[in-house]
Amino acid sequence: MKQKSILFLFSLFFFLKGNTQCAMCRAVLESEEGQTAAEGINDGIVYLMAIPYILMGGLAYFIYKKYSTLNK
């Protein structure tokens, strides 16, 4: 179980570095000098993408813990 959770966390942080812009956002932001706005948009998209997975993972963990303590 511990190995699976470590693998999950590693894969979560590994995939967070990807470029997650849509085509329209990329076209608008690539025309800008400095690229600081593009980096901010990328960070915001990754943040919005990660939160539901973290919440669902936490919920699944608490449900698992609740059912595992009921069986003991």
| Helix boundaries (H) for the chain | 2-15, 23-30, 36-70
Domains in the chain: boundaries: 2-70
Residue by residue, pLDDT tens for the chain (72 residues) are 777 777 777 676 666 555 555 666 667 667 767 677 777 777 888 888 888 899 999 999 999 999 888 876
pLDDT given at position 57: 92
pLDDT given at position 18: 56
pLDDT given at position 34: 67
* The one-letter amino acid at 31: S
pLDDT given at position 63: 92
Q: Which long-range contacts (C-beta less than 8 Å, at least 24 apart) are formed by 25-29?
A: none
Q: 69 is written with which tokens?
A: 């303590």
**Residue reference for tokens 């570095």:** 17
Quick check: pTM over 0.85?
no
